[in-house]
Amino acid sequence: MVTSKKNLRTCKKGHQYYKSSDCPVCPICANEEKPEDDFLSTLVAPARRALQGKGITTVQELATHTEAEIMRLHGMGPSTLPKLQQALASAGLSFKP
């Protein structure tokens, strides 16, 4: 088993955290930016950032895209699709055909 060396980093806001990957995201900032009660709050951070980066912040905006378009976004994984489908169904919507 190979263990990764974690490096101490400091983000632009001054938070200190350890990371073993090249990912520049500060976990403290990511947690502070997590929505509390919309459909994005049910998603993991990479998927949430992918949608937000595309300007998708509501289920109505999500419904204007196909499943294939959404799944091509970097950060989307197989566990994300059922959560998105559930959010759309709860609002009486679905992905664009």
- Same structural domain, 14 and 44: no
For residue 80, what are its two tokens?
């994300």
- CATH number for the domain spanning 85: value is 1.10.150.20
Express each pLDDT in 18-43 by its tens digit.
888 877 788 888 777 766 668 898 89
Of the two residues 54 and 30, the one the predictor is more confident about is: 54
Total domains present in the chain: 2
Report how far residue 75's alpha carbon sits from residue 45's, in angstroms, rounded to the nearest whole number.
Answer: 8
Q: Is residue 1 domain-resident?
A: no
Give pLDDT, residue 3.
59
- Same structural domain, 59 and 74: yes
Q: Is 41 helix (H, G, I), strand (E, B) or coil?
A: helix
Express each pLDDT in 87-96 by its tens digit.
999 999 999 9
- Same structural domain, 88 and 64: yes
Backbone Cα Rg of the chain: 16
- Same structural domain, 77 and 52: yes
Determine the structural domain holding residue 49 and report its residue range.
37-97
10 Å CB burial of residue 50 (0-12, 13-18, 19+) is buried
- Same structural domain, 81 and 49: yes
- Same structural domain, 85 and 42: yes
The residues, ordered by sequence, that sit 6+ positions from 52 with a Cβ below 8 Å of its Cβ are: 40
Give pLDDT, residue 4.
67
